[in-house]
Structure 1
Amino acid sequence: MIKVYFKQALMLMRQNRLFSTLYIVGTGLAITMTVIVAVVYYVKLAPVYPEVNRGNTYYLSGTSFERNKDGRFQSWSYAYSYRALQEWFYPLKNAREVSASTFGAVKYIQPSDRSGDFPVRIIETDPAYFRIYAFSFFDGQPFTQSDLESGIRKAVITDKLARRLFGKENGVVGCQFLLDYETYQVCGVVRGASHLTTRSYADLYVPYSTMEGYRDPAYSEVPYCGPFQVTVWVEDGKQGKAMCEEVYEIVRKQNLLHETDGLKMNIEDDPVSHLRASLMMSVGGEDGNWWRAVRYLLFILLTLLLVPALNLSGLIASRMESRLPEMGIRKAFGGRRSKLLLQMLWENFLLTLVGGVLGMVVAWVALYGCREWVFRVFDRYTWLVPEGTDVYVSGEMLFAPSVFLITLLFCLILNILSALIPAWLSLRNPIVCSLYEKR
């Protein structure tokens, strides 16, 4: 029976080419926008390489201190210092891994062929960073805890940088290069991350102990402010909640300790999960209200669903009027309303399916071709991508099963909303009215 419905649908598509074209194009545009929104937020939120532990990852980006004493107000704000790492975060009991790192500074490499200095993005971090972020190593391994403690200038570099420096990505462990005129030794080569995974993207990763003055606080008055951001990986949501309570207790004790000198510590929304951090960076979460970002996203999806459905319903209603005599004859010969309605749904589903495939292809082309800005369109802050930055969209990002299922579900809902109501209203007409319809 379904095969018969599809044959009839193909015949009607050839007979009503204008209607079919408008329907397919309208559906395709709706699917295109839906796929773009779905892929953009999939890349932001889903576990993609190398940030595969996003669901159980928390961030602490910085703290602020205030003092209001004797009518004099002072304030300090920054990320965390080395002392804060040692006293507060590395000893956390409710954490699987704790990593501290700087956030993508730019330095310059002096190549051995003297072709000219070129900039690279560098993250100064610790060995735990490579346990949280699942980098795939072509060669070598991460630097060790003893390397960190001794301040040895070792580096994990990406395959792209390895090819640029040494012409290959394997067999370069132990090779040396100059970074800001300091000699570093390669200890590992990894498959590089995309600029879209902002927490892990860099060209090379070195121990933070190679930084000059990494133990020094940013302010002499407040020893807990410094250059480090903290990433915490927990087992599950229960441990994540316990970890947050542990951090809140640290803040409470600090404020009690400095109550007499009027110094007050504040960590704002930290620790913040990856989900909340990503949504707070969206346009709808500009004031830190991540639920507003959720409502904003739902509003976009609802608009993409309802507006095309209403337009397509108008097209279908007009088409149904021209088919009333056909429906009347079929009902007169014993055609049941449910069977006629099912046929209409299958006919429109075929059109919706064709439009959906077209929309997905257009969306993938747009996402790949405009990847340097389309993935930032929903961000609160946008910035230009630096020249030479690796902004690529992997197959894992584009062809994710969840995005495909969302698109398929969207096609089904769009088909039902646009076809069911006008078809049902038309089939409710009495047989006599349908037979005498002259349009």
Structure 2
Amino acid sequence: MIRIYLKQAWELLKQNKLFSTLYIAGTGLAIAMTMIMAMIYYVKLAPVYPEVNRQNTLYLTGSCFEKGPEGNHQVVRWAVSYKALQEWFYPMKNALAVSAKLANGDWSENSYIQPADQSGDFHVNVRLTDPAFFRIYAFRFLEGKPFTDADLSSGICTAVITDELARRLFGTTEGVVGQTFRLNYTDFRVCGVVRSASYLTSKSYAQLYVPYSVVSDYREPKYGAPFLGAFSVTFLVENGEQGVALRNELKDIVRRENLANPDDWQVSFWEQPTTHLVSIFQEYVSEELDVWATVRQFLLVLLVLLLVPALNLSGMIASRMEGRLPEMGVRKSFGAGRGTLFSQVMWENLLLTLLGGMLGLLLAWVVLYAEREWVFTVLDDWADAVPEGMEVRVAGEMLFAPLVFLAALLLCVLLNLLSALLPAWNSLRKPIVSSLNEKR
């Protein structure tokens, strides 16, 4: 019976080309917009290469140091110092790995490579970090290995580079380990080559990774506070329970430090370290995230993207059902029941919705890939332009997310069925005589 319904629906689709085109296009646009929004957050939140441990990754990106009485009160907000890393964070027991990143403007924003062929300096994105970084993020090494703790301690100029940068520098990704290149007029030796991450995985992305000890003053604290500096810290935990234990351990460290030095700088980390989910939606680490406000915002967006098109489609279906009343009257007179006719209308609507879903999926993929340099930041409060020389790569695992598509499609199918339910039911309730006498 379902096969017959679908065959009839296909014939009606070909007979009513204008209605079918508008219906499929309307459904496709609704699904495309929903898919684009869903995929933007899928890329931000899902375990994609190399950030496959997002669920168990915690971040500490800021700190607050206060000192002095009310009349001469000083407040400084930044990150933490090398001393804090050594005394507080690296020794923490409730973490599988602890990694630090040094924020240095001269290196992060103004690093240039001087090619051996003297073809001209070009800008690169550099991450100043430590060996634990490669235990938190699952980079695929095509050759070599990460720099070591000994490299970090000695301040040796070594680097892990991406395959894209390797091809640009050496024309290949093979036999690259051991070769040298000039970065900021200093010779660096390649110790490993990794598969490139996407610029969209902002927690781990760079074109080359070097020990933070290559910066001469990395041990120096800032603003006279011994634990204030430019390091942010990333933690890998086993599960949520260990994450809670980690926060409690940090609170104990802060409490002991503040009690031991009541007349010195008093430190606070707010509710850090934060989960990856919170870090995406929290604008400032010092503010408390309003979860319900965020949920309401997304529900409103979904309402606009799905419910408004569904209402428009409901009006189209109502108009179409009025035109089909004589047909329904004839079928009733030959014994077709209301339930049979209703099932046929629903299957026709489902076929059109599925076709619209396929169209919407293709549209979403085209937009996400063709406009990838800006579309993934369209929902950000503070979106930064892609730096010159950085390519926004969209891997297959970012676009081909079956569960996301199925969820969006099921939601649209539900809304489209509801949009067809009332018009179809009202039309089929009319008596046979009224249906047969209805003008086309």
Give the TM-score band, short-chain normalised.
Answer: over 0.9
Tell me, in whole angstroms, the C-alpha distance in 1 between the residues paired with 2:231 and 2:340.
66
**Shift in Å, 1:286:** 9.2
Tell me, in whole angstroms, the C-alpha distance in 2 between the residues paired with 1:401 and 1:327.
38
Q: Within the alignment, does 1:195 sit opposite 2:199 as a pair?
A: yes
**Aligned equivalent of 2:259:** 256
**Aligned equivalent of 1:306:** 307
**Shift in Å, 1:368:** 0.9
**Over residues 261-294 of structure 1, what are the superposed CA-to-partner deviations in whole Å (9 max), with x where a residue is unaligned?**
5x43222342110011112259xx9984344223
Unpaired segments ≥5 residues, structure 1? none
Q: Is the 8 A contact 1:353 1:411 kept in 2?
A: no
Q: Within the alignment, does 1:160 sit opposite 2:164 as a pair?
A: yes
Could you tell me which of 223, 243, 248 is aligned with 2:246?
Answer: 243
Q: Aligned AA for 2:4? A: V
Structure 1's 287 and 90: CA in aligned 2 closer, same or farther, altered over 3 A?
closer
Tell me, in whole angstroms, the C-alpha distance in 2 between the residues paired with 1:70 and 1:12.
79
**Aligned equivalent of 2:382:** 381
**Over residues 370-428 of structure 1, what are the superposed CA-to-partner deviations in whole Å (9 max), with x where a residue is unaligned?**
11111001101012111110201111100112222223213322331221222122222
**Shift in Å, 1:330:** 2.0
Q: Is the 8 A contact 2:67 2:263 kept in 1?
A: no
Deviates most, 101-110 or 133-142: 101-110
Tell me, in whole angstroms, the C-alpha distance in 1 between the residues paired with 2:291 and 2:140.
32
Q: Within the alignment, does 1:332 sit opposite 2:336 as a pair?
A: no
**Aligned equivalent of 2:179:** 175
Write out aligned runs for 1:202-351 (5 A): 202-220=206-224, 222-261=225-264, 263-281=265-283, 288-351=289-352
**Shift in Å, 1:52:** 0.4
**Shift in Å, 1:355:** 1.3
**Shift in Å, 1:119:** 1.2
Seq. identity, %: 59
Q: Aligned AA for 2:386? A: V
- SS of residue paired to 1:229: strand
Q: Aligned AA for 1:159? A: D
**Shift in Å, 1:29:** 0.9
**Shift in Å, 1:260:** 3.8
**Over residues 301-351 of structure 1, what are the superposed CA-to-partner deviations in whole Å (9 max), with x where a residue is unaligned?**
122111111000010011111112222222232222222211111101111
Tell me, in whole angstroms, the C-alpha distance in 2 between the residues paired with 1:92 and 1:276.
22
- SS of residue paired to 2:143: strand
Q: Is the 8 A contact 1:148 1:209 kept in 2?
A: yes
Tell me, in whole angstroms, the C-alpha distance in 2 between the residues paired with 1:362 and 1:286.
37
**Aligned equivalent of 2:407:** 406
- SS of residue paired to 1:171: coil
Unpaired segments ≥5 residues, structure 2? none
Deviates most, 240-249 or 198-207: 240-249
Structure 1's 433 and 254: CA in aligned 2 closer, same or farther, altered over 3 A?
farther
Q: Aligned AA for 2:383? A: T
Q: Within the alignment, does 1:37 sit opposite 2:40 as a pair?
A: no
- SS of residue paired to 2:113: strand
TM-score, normalising length from structure 2? 0.95
- SS of residue paired to 1:71: helix
Q: Within the alignment, does 1:108 sit opposite 2:112 as a pair?
A: yes
**Aligned equivalent of 2:93:** 93
- SS of residue paired to 2:336: coil
Q: Is the 8 A contact 1:47 1:53 kept in 2?
A: yes
Q: How many residues align?
A: 435
Tell me, in whole angstroms, the C-alpha distance in 2 between the residues paired with 1:145 and 1:135.
18
Tell me, in whole angstroms, the C-alpha distance in 2 between the residues paired with 1:32 and 1:375.
14
